[in-house]
C-alpha cells in the first residue's frame, strides 16, 4: 500500500483511463462510499452543498459507489452517473464502484481504514456513506459514520481550509 494517499490508483466512474488522487493534492477532501438505493442516499444533496460551498477554497468531495451493503448500488457506471446528476445535481468527482471491505477492498479504502479506524479500533466500514476527511497534506483527520449528516462536518472542513 502506498504511503501517499494521492498516489493510490483509482478509476473514474466514466472513462477507461486509470488515474490517482494527485489532482487533489494540497486540498482538503472528503472521501465517501456512496450508494443510490440507500436510506442515506439523500446525503448526496448535503455532500454537493459542501462541495459547492467550500470548493473555491480548496475542498472537494470524492464519491466512491459501493454495492457491498444490501446491494444498494447495483447499477452500471452510466446508471450511477445519470442518477446522481439528475436526482441530486452532483458535480463532485465520482469514481468507479469499489469494495470497501474484505479481501477485494480497494487499496484506497484499506489505507483510509488503517489511518483512521472506527469505534473500538475496528477498521471495517459499517455501511454506505461512511466519510473520511483528509487534510491538505494527505493525512486522514477524521472518520464519520454513515449517520453523520454532511452539514455536521462543515465546521471541521472549514477548520482545515
Q: CB of 136 within 8 A of CB of 124? A: no
Beta-bridged to residue 47, according to DSSP, are: none
Between the alpha carbon of residue 158 and those of residues 61, 142, 149, 161, the distances in Å are 14, 13, 16, 5
Q: CB of 57 within 8 A of CB of 44? A: no
Between the alpha carbon of residue 93 and those of residues 32, 47, 65, the distances in Å are 11, 11, 11
- How far is 74 from 37, CA to CA, in rounded Å? 9
Q: C-alpha cell of 38?
A: 440507500
Catalytic residue set: 38
Cα Dmax for the chain: 39
Nearest to 150 by CA among 22, 43, 68, 40: 43
Amino acid at each position: 500500500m502506498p504511503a501517499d494517499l494521492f498516489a493510490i490508483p483509482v478509476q473514474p466512474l466514466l472513462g477507461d483511463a486509470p488515474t490517482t488522487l494527485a489532482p487533489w493534492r494540497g486540498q482538503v477532501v472528503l472521501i465517501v462510499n456512496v450508494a443510490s438505493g440507500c436510506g442515506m442516499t439523500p446525503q448526496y444533496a448535503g455532500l454537493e452543498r459542501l462541495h459547492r460551498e467550500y470548493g473555491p477554497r480548496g475542498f472537494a468531495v470524492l464519491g466512491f459507489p459501493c454495492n457491498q451493503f444490501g446491494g444498494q448500488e447495483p447499477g452500471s457506471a452510466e446508471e450511477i452517473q445519470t442518477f446522481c446528476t439528475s436526482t441530486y445535481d452532483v458535480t463532485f468527482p465520482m469514481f468507479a464502484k469499489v469494495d470497501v471491505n474484505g479481501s477485494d477492498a480497494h487499496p484506497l479504502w484499506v489505507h483510509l481504514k488503517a489511518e483512521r479506524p472506527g469505534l473500538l479500533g475496528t477498521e471495517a466500514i459499517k455501511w454506505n456513506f461512511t466519510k473520511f476527511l483528509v487534510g491538505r497534506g494527505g493525512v486522514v483527520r477524521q472518520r464519520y459514520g454513515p449517520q453523520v449528516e454532511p452539514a455536521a462536518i462543515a465546521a471541521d472542513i472549514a477548520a482545515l481550509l
